């Protein structure tokens, strides 16, 4: 007797070996029809696998959360077969599922183009119609190696060779087509009638190593219902409209041009936004006992040699010459300069923690292919600060930093923050007990304020562990913004010290930390998260005052003047245009408040308020309107 425990706790008994499909069938026909795979003792397996022991199972159907992953994996195999049928000399590499879809990497002499997508999709549909069973087989290493070597599938051969010698190799066949794959897969290529679409093609290095050959990666997506596919495509189309580069142009915030790639030309409105963010940060940092400084951009090579940047970071530095051909570099970071300030005069333990902040203008020669609007630039300003403290202070400083960061992110409307905790890498400076202390301090601090975080084992810098705070853009791409890095090395290299309670010279620890990260990147993310509809306190233009006809021009001007005197960012539109035209234009520019005045408003000293996103008009007295707007526009 085989006892199979179902998710509801009930036990089904079978007198002989039973497959997942049979279990499903014995429960109901409709379940069997909608089943994809089976979870046996919490591990996903093929439905065809025979069970001859007691276990608990869960049938994974179309409706299960795991379903998408399964069909996408199926679809990846189908796509690979399709590509090899159309381009027979193509070699296959790997084809995993990813968020919202899957990809497969190919090596082919022909380069695939978007024109081939339709062909491949058509072929995929044919393969799905053939409805070949996914047949799972276990091969020994020799057989597998021989098979793939004979087929000249060099990538599969390399994968097999990299696997443990005693590991079983699973092979999946669909008709004639064979792939090395862990599985699981559903019953057959056409078992589930899912919807799919090839999205894009791009290069990708074999095994993610830039020294290896670049393969062609075809990205695609698959969904169980056609409507989900349509929704997904719509979601992407909508997201693209929120692209900060597009908005930057439409809202006249900034531009970039060939003569200074990776650097931003901030326009008046964009610079207003930038300045407000900066003023807000200044206020918050001031409240948190940071002292702001300003250090040079161009610094002699000598300091970079002492700090270690010349050796480790030179590739990314812009190097120029000073007098007598003396090499100088544009600073890529502010830390060495801050240490110079710390070192002026003698510091006492009473001065610690010493929090030194700077809106530090940095330049890094980033690889051309990595540049991306405001998100990845070559010239940027960090809301940087270095906290010089004792080892014992790492914990409390981290905790208050995390609190401050969360508060600030919330003010900007970011409530979901991904935190990565990166601990000691293999190559590192400093002894293990120091690392223990630093890692514990960081981890305890995030735990103390109850923030969820992911671990990034070995991802720390050579000089210390770190916390990274990651935000995502409208397409879900991740951008590291805030960071907190513990550093034992730089104070040593640059000989920073303080005098402790007993009068001896001691090295401080340095915490490198940024909240927004780079002003540019953060504003880019902010633009995408708001879609350009900035909250009132951030909007470059808060109020547009517009008249209806000539007779109300003077009244409009008077209101404009009042707004300006109240420090509201107001503009006036008294162009000789129709009201509809002006409303449309200012709405498209995403100005939060339009004040409309005509004959009636003028007569009663009222204004008509129209808020972005609403077609309602609110007629209130001028005084009340301005008071209300002023109250709503304060910086948090």
Q: Which is nearer to RNA, 34 or 608 (CB)?
A: 608
Q: Kindly state the smallest distance separating residue 512's Cβ from RNA, in Å.
A: 7
Contact indicator for 509, 390 with CB cutoff of 8 Å: yes
Q: Measured in whole angstroms, how far is the alpha carbon of residue 45 from the centre of its chain?
A: 32
Q: Which is nearer to RNA, 203 or 268 (CB)?
A: 203
User: In the window 418-437, what residues touch RNA (CB under 7 A)?
Assistant: none
- DSSP character at residue 28: -
- DSSP character at residue 612: T
Active site residue 372: no
Contact indicator for 196, 222 with CB cutoff of 8 Å: yes
Neighbouring residues of 441: CB distance < 8 A, sequence distance ≥ 6: 391, 394, 395, 398, 486
Task: Out of 142, 235, 326, 599, name the contact with RNA by CB under 7 A.
Answer: 599
User: In the window 451-470, what residues touch RNA (CB under 7 A)?
Assistant: 461-463
Can you point out the beta strands (E) in 206-255?
Answer: 214-223, 254-255
Catalytic residue of the set 181, 277, 335, 389: 335
Q: Is 110 in the site for RNA (CB under 7 A)?
A: no
Q: Kindly state the smallest distance separating residue 584's Cβ from RNA, in Å.
A: 3
Task: Out of 29, 578, 605, 621, name the contact with RNA by CB under 7 A.
Answer: 578
Q: Measured in whole angstroms, how far is the alpha carbon of residue 535 from the centre of its chain?
A: 22
Q: Copy the structure tokens of residue 578.
A: 């129709």
At residue 377, φ and ψ (nearest 5 deg) are -130, 175
Cα–Cα separations (whole angstroms), residue 191 to 32, 48, 77, 80, 128:
11, 13, 14, 18, 8
Residue 291, CB-side half-sphere exposure with 13 Å CA sphere: 12
Task: Out of 20, 270, 360, 373, name the contact with RNA by CB under 7 A.
Answer: 373
Q: Is 273 in the site for RNA (CB under 7 A)?
A: no
Q: Kindly state the smallest distance separating residue 391's Cβ from RNA, in Å.
A: 20
Active site residue 386: yes
Contact indicator for 549, 522 with CB cutoff of 8 Å: no
Task: Out of 24, 71, 201, 527, name the contact with RNA by CB under 7 A.
Answer: 201
Closest CA to 512 of 480, 493, 484, 488: 484
Give the integer Cα–Cα distance in Å for 89 and 355.
62
Give the integer Cα–Cα distance in Å for 366 and 577.
47
Q: Is 233 in the site for RNA (CB under 7 A)?
A: no
Q: Which is nearer to RNA, 461 or 629 (CB)?
A: 461
Q: Which is nearer to RNA, 230 or 261 (CB)?
A: 261
Catalytic residue of the set 69, 105, 384, 487: 384
Q: Kindly state the smallest distance separating residue 487's Cβ from RNA, in Å.
A: 9
Q: Which is nearer to RNA, 103 or 453 (CB)?
A: 103
Q: What angle do CA 529, 532, 537 make, to 5 degrees?
A: 90
Q: Copy the structure tokens of residue 38.
A: 């089976």
User: In the window 510-569, what residues touch RNA (CB under 7 A)?
Assistant: 512, 548-550
Task: Out of 143, 200, 291, 455, name the contact with RNA by CB under 7 A.
Answer: 200
Q: Is 355 in the site for RNA (CB under 7 A)?
A: no
Size of the site for RNA (CB under 7 A): 71
Q: Which is nearer to RNA, 225 or 477 (CB)?
A: 477
Span of 108-116, 172-180, 223-231, 436-444 interacting with RNA by CB under 7 A: 108-116
Q: Which is nearer to RNA, 183 or 336 (CB)?
A: 336
Catalytic residue of the set 72, 156, 309, 364: 364
Q: Is 475 in the site for RNA (CB under 7 A)?
A: yes
Active site residue 335: yes
Span of 9-17, 208-216, 231-239, 266-274 interacting with RNA by CB under 7 A: 208-216
Span of 21-29, 336-344, 360-368, 401-409 interacting with RNA by CB under 7 A: 360-368
Q: Which is nearer to RNA, 567 or 580 (CB)?
A: 580
x/- site string to RNA, residues 295 to 314, per CB under 7 A? Answer: -----------------xx-
User: In the window 319-338, what residues touch RNA (CB under 7 A)?
Assistant: 332-333
Q: Which is nearer to RNA, 202 or 635 (CB)?
A: 202
Active site residue 384: yes
Q: Which is nearer to RNA, 123 or 610 (CB)?
A: 610
Q: Kindly state the smallest distance separating residue 42's Cβ from RNA, in Å.
A: 30
Closest CA to 232 of 244, 221, 243, 218: 221
Task: Out of 163, 230, 261, 632, name the contact with RNA by CB under 7 A.
Answer: 261
Q: Is 239 in the site for RNA (CB under 7 A)?
A: no
Closest CA to 393 of 286, 292, 486: 486
Task: Out of 7, 96, 114, 413, name the contact with RNA by CB under 7 A.
Answer: 114
* Three-state helix/strand/coil letters over 356-385: EEEEEEEECCCCHHHCECCCECCEEEEEEE
Contact indicator for 19, 40 with CB cutoff of 8 Å: no
Cα–Cα separations (whole angstroms), residue 198 to 56, 75, 179, 203, 582:
37, 11, 20, 15, 42
Catalytic residue of the set 185, 512, 560, 586: 512
At residue 235, φ and ψ (nearest 5 deg) are -60, -40
Span of 145-153, 290-298, 387-395, 586-594 interacting with RNA by CB under 7 A: 586-594
Give the pairing of strands 418-422 and 478-487: unpaired
**CA terminus-to-terminus distance, the chain:** 68
Q: Which is nearer to RNA, 462 or 537 (CB)?
A: 462
Give the integer Cα–Cα distance in Å for 419 and 470.
6
Closest CA to 106 of 219, 269, 270: 219
Catalytic residue of the set 382, 437, 485, 542: 382
Span of 121-129, 167-175, 290-298, 580-588 interacting with RNA by CB under 7 A: 580-588
Give the integer Cα–Cα distance in Å for 595 and 597.
7
Q: Kindly state the smallest distance separating residue 590's Cβ from RNA, in Å.
A: 8
Task: Out of 294, 566, 584, 623, name the contact with RNA by CB under 7 A.
Answer: 584
Q: Kindly state the smallest distance separating residue 514's Cβ from RNA, in Å.
A: 9
Closest CA to 471 of 423, 538, 408, 516: 516
Closest CA to 515 of 484, 485, 537, 487: 484
Catalytic residues: 335, 364, 382, 384, 386, 466, 512
């Amino acid at each position: 007797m085989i006892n199979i425990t179902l998710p509801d706790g009930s036990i089904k008994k079978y007198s002989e070996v039973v497959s997942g499909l049979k279990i499903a069938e014995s429960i109901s026909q409709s379940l069997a029809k909608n089943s994809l795979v089976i979870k046996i003792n919490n591990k996903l397996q093929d439905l065809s696998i025979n069970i001859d022991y007691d276990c608990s199972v869960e049938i994974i159907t179309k409706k299960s959360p795991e379903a998408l992953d399964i069909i996408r994996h199926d679809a990846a195999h189908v796509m690979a077969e399709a590509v090899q049928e159309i381009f027979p000399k193509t070699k296959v590499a790997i084809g995993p599922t990813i968020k919202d879809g899957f990809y497969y990497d190919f090596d082919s002499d022909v380069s695939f183009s978007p024109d081939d997508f339709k062909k491949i999709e058509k072929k995929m549909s044919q393969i799905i119609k053939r409805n070949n069973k996914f047949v799972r087989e276990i091969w020994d290493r020799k057989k597998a190696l021989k098979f793939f070597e004979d087929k000249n599938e060099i990538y599969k051969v390399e994968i097999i060779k990299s696997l443990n010698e005693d590991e079983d190799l699973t092979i999946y066949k669909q008709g004639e087509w064979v792939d090395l794959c862990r599985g699981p897969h559903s019953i057959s290529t056409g078992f589930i009638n899912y919807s799919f679409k090839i999205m894009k093609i791009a290069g990708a290095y074999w095994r993610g190593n830039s020294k290896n050959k670049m393969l062609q990666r075809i990205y695609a997506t698959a969904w169980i219902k056609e409507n989900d596919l349509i929704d997904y495509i719509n979601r992407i189309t909508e997201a693209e409209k929120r692209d900060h580069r597009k908005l930057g142009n439409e809202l006249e915030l900034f531009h970039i041009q060939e003569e200074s790639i990776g650097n931003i030309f901030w326009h008046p409105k964009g610079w207003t936004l930038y300045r407000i963010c900066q003023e807000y940060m200044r206020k918050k940092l001031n409240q948190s006992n940071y002292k702001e400084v300003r250090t040079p951009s161009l610094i002699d090579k000598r300091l970079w040699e002492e700090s270690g940047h010349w050796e480790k970071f030179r590739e990314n530095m812009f190097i120029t010459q000073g007098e007598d051909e003396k090499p100088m570099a544009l600073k890529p970071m502010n830390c060495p300069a801050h240490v110079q300030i710390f070192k002026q005069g003698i510091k006492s333990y009473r001065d610690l923690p010493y929090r030194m902040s700077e809106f530090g203008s940095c330049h890094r020669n980033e690889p051309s292919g990595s540049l991306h609007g405001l998100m990845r630039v070559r010239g940027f300003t960090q809301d940087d600060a270095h906290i010089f403290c004792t080892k014992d202070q790492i914990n409390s400083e981290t905790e208050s930093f995390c609190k401050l960061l969360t508060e600030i992110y919330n003010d900007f409307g970011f409530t979901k923050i991904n935190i990565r905790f990166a601990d000691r890498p293999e190559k590192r400076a400093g002894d293990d007990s120091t690392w223990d202390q630093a890692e514990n301090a960081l981890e305890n601090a995030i735990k103390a304020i109850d923030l969820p975080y992911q671990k990034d084992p070995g991802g720390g810098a050579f000089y210390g562990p770190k916390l990274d705070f990651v935000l995502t853009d409208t397409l879900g791409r991740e951008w590291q913004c805030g960071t907190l890095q513990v550093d034992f090395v730089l104070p040593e290299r640059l000989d920073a010290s303080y005098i402790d309670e007993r009068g001896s010279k001691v090295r401080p620890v340095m915490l490198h930390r940024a909240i927004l990260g780079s002003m540019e990147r953060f504003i880019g993310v902010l633009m995408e998260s708001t879609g350009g509809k900035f909250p009132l306190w951030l909007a470059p233009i808060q109020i547009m005052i517009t008249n209806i006809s000539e007779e109300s021009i003077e009244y409009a001007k008077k209101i404009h003047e009042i707004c300006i005197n109240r420090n509201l960012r107001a503009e006036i539109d008294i162009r000789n245009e129709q009201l509809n035209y002006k409303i449309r234009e200012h709405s498209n520019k995403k100005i939060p408040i339009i004040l409309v005045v005509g004959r009636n408003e003028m007569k009663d000293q009222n204004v008509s308020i129209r808020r972005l996103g609403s077609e309602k008009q609110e007629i209130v007295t001028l005084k009340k309107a301005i008071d209300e707007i002023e109250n709503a526009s304060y910086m948090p």
